[in-house]
Amino acid sequence: MKPERNHYMLPDSKFRIYWNYLMLFCILYFAIKSPVLFAFRQVTGNGLLFVDAYVTLIFLADILMMFRTAFYKEGELIVQPESIRLRYLKSWFLIDFLATLPLDMAALASGYPDFAISLSLLRLLRVLRVYRLFSKISVILSYSSHVRAMLFSFWVIVSVNLCACGWIIINPNDGSTDAVTFYNKAVYWVVTTLTTVGYGDIYPTTNIGRIYTMIVMMIGVGMYGFIIGNISTILVSTSVPKAANREKLAHLASYMKQYSIPHELQESIFNYYNFGLQQNVSDNFSKILSELPQELSNEMREYVNIHLITQVPLFRNASQESLKDIVKCFRSEIFSPSETIVKSGEEGNEMYFLVYGLVEVISPEGKVINKLRTGSFFGELALLRKIKRIATIKALTYCQVYRLNNEDLEKIMKKHPPLKRQLEHIAKKRYTQKSE
């Protein structure tokens, strides 16, 4: 049964995405203002106090919304209020709370302007949340160039502003120049120092100033190395299939926008493609194996699948030969969210190994009694005890499973009698436990 939507907010809903944009600009406001006022040792003017109060209210609203924003855990959407609150309290709540409290405004109102200037730096804690704001939103944005450009611009502005404020602290204004012009000169110095080695019209005259200049120069060199290195990596290592998938997603996004496809349907479609992209490692592995001689390729696949089934108690003590025969009989299947994999009351002719995804176990009465994650297995009792399914298994996320049918297992057990005795013993024990 689906939880009521009004009890929680989807983390990648359209409203939440636009709210994240608003939060980005609010964080940028304090990321520029607080260091500048600290560098000039000035308090917030009356004109900006109104803006501060407005942005503080937005931060407070964001905290309240975080207590109602659902989150994904291993592909499952967690909507329980207790889980949402506990997760937020254990993660970002303290940082968000300290960055939201208007301690600087309170200190200023109490007549402590110097203390207010220092407390304003607490607002910079919100900068830590910028990456998180955009790391969990809809898949469609993860392929959006304007989002990447905006985040890159954000970090450039914040970095240049911090370096400029550091220069102002080391070389304070002597009063001969107004604050705006002095700040403009500091930014000009930072840009020329980061991008080149400076033009020499503004230069340090103290030892600490020279040390700071060298640090900024090294930061500039590091930025060049980082940018060029990433571009080189992209050009060299980006696979053609992955690039094709990204292009496909871009065309798909444009197509759905043109025809005003409902957001929920868009989300389902992109979630499926995201599942496909997460399987790229497996796809690349398969392509590598296909280049090997057939015998080596088959042997490699066997050992990979053997690693999976040795995690299952049923086969943990089985011989290597019997395990090899089992994995040769595996059949791979993909199930989409809400799709029923096995149904209670049906004849059990297969058992399943969950390679990837999350499923829920539902009793015949319709009650969810358990959830199984990657590496789990199910359907073994009906298969080994020749009884009907005692529970329904439904996919919660996109799932990849390996299916082992009854005919193949019978052949393997005839070939390996010790395996047959072991499986029958374990199945009888598990059936007795479940009956009790």
Please tell me the CATH code under which domain 284-435 is placed: 2.60.120.10
Residue 144 clears pLDDT 70, i.e. is over it: no
**Lowest mean pLDDT, pick from 54-58, 218-222, 367-371:** 218-222
Return the percentage of the chain with pLDDT > 70, whole number. 83
**Per-residue pLDDT for 184 more than 60?**
yes
pTM of the model: 0.65
SS3 sequence of the chain: CCCCHHHCECCCCHHHHHHHHHHHHHHHHHHHHHHHHHHHCCCCCHHHHHHHHHHHHHHHHHHHHHCCECEEECCEEECCHHHHHHHHHHCCHHHHHHHHCCHHHHHHHCCCHHHHHHHHHHHHHHHHHHHHHHHCCCHHHHCCHHHHHHHHHHHHHHHHHHHHHHHHHHCCCCCCCCHHHHHHHHHHHHHHHHHCCCCCCCCCCCHHHHHHHHHHHHHHHHHHHHHHHHHHHHHHHCCHHHHHHHHHHHHHHHHHHHCCCCHHHHHHHHHHHHHHHHCHHHHHHHHHHHCCCHHHHHHHHHHHHHHHHCCCHHHCCCCHHHHHHHHHCCEEEEECCCCEEECCCCECCEEEEEEECEEEEECCCCCEEEEEECCCEECHHHHHHCCECCCEEEECCCEEEEEEEHHHHHHHHHHCHHHHHHHHHHHHHHHHHHHC
Which pLDDT score is estimated for 229? 66
Q: What is the pLDDT of residue 240?
A: 54
Distance CA 182, CA 175 (A): 10
Among the listed ranges 74-88, 182-196, 310-324, which one has the minimum average pLDDT value?
310-324
pLDDT over 70 (residue 435) = no
Domain ranges of the chain: 1-137, 240-278, 284-435
| Position with higher pLDDT, 288 vs 377 | 377
Task: Report which listed range, 41-50, 81-90, 241-250, is most confident.
Answer: 81-90
According to DSSP, the residues that pair with 333 across neighbouring strands are 401
277/31 Cα distance (integer angstroms): 35
Q: What is the mean pLDDT of the chain?
A: 82
304-329: average pLDDT: 80
pLDDT of residue 33: 95
Q: Are 337 and 346 in contact (CB under 8 A)?
A: no
Lowest-confidence pick of 177-191, 219-233, 250-264: 219-233
Measured in degrees and rounded to the nearest 5, phi and psi for residue 199 equal: -100, -10
If you average pLDDT over residues 207-221, what whole number do you get?
A: 91
pLDDT score of 55 more than 80: yes
Residue type, 22: L
Name the band, by pLDDT with cuts 50, 70 and 90, for residue 221.
Answer: confident
Q: Identify the weakest region by mean pLDDT among 56-70, 237-251, 262-276.
A: 237-251
Does the structure show a pLDDT above 60 at 302?
A: yes
Q: Which residue has the higher pLDDT, 433 or 361?
A: 361
pLDDT > 90? residue 208: yes
Confidence of residue 143 (pLDDT cuts 50, 70, 90): very low
Answer for the pair 330, 304: CB distance below 8 angstroms, yes or no.
no
Least Cα distance to 114 among 43, 174, 169 occurs for 43
Among 16-25, 199-208, 308-317, 391-400, which stretch is predicted with the lowest mean pLDDT? 308-317
Q: What is the pLDDT of residue 436?
A: 55
Q: What is the CB neighbour count within 10 angstroms for residue 317? A: 11
Buried b (16+ CB within 10 A) or exposed e, 225-263: eeeeeeeeeeeeeeeeeeeebeeebeebbeebeeeeeeb
| The pLDDT of residue 219 is above 80 | yes
pLDDT of 139 over the 50 cut? no
Does residue 107 register a pLDDT over 60?
Answer: yes
Residues 63/98, Cβ–Cβ less than 8 Å: no
pLDDT of residue 233: 56
Which residues on adjacent β-strands are paired with residue 326?
A: none
Q: What CA–CA distance (Å, rounded) separates 49 from 379?
A: 64
Stretch 161-186: mean pLDDT: 93
Q: How far is CA 350 from CA 125, 156, 338, 380, in A?
A: 54, 57, 20, 8
Of 33 and 71, more confident:
33
How far is Cα 281 from Cα 93, in angstroms, rounded to an integer? 35
Other residues' Cβ atoms within 10 Å of the Cβ of residue 48: 14
pLDDT of residue 347: 86
Where does the pLDDT of residue 202 fall: very low under 50, low under 70, confident under 90, or very high at 90 and above? confident
Mean pLDDT, rounded, for 95-102: 93
Phi, psi of 262 (to 5 degrees): -55, 145
Q: What is the pLDDT of residue 3?
A: 42
**Dihedral Cα 19, 23, 29, 31, nearest 10 deg:** -160
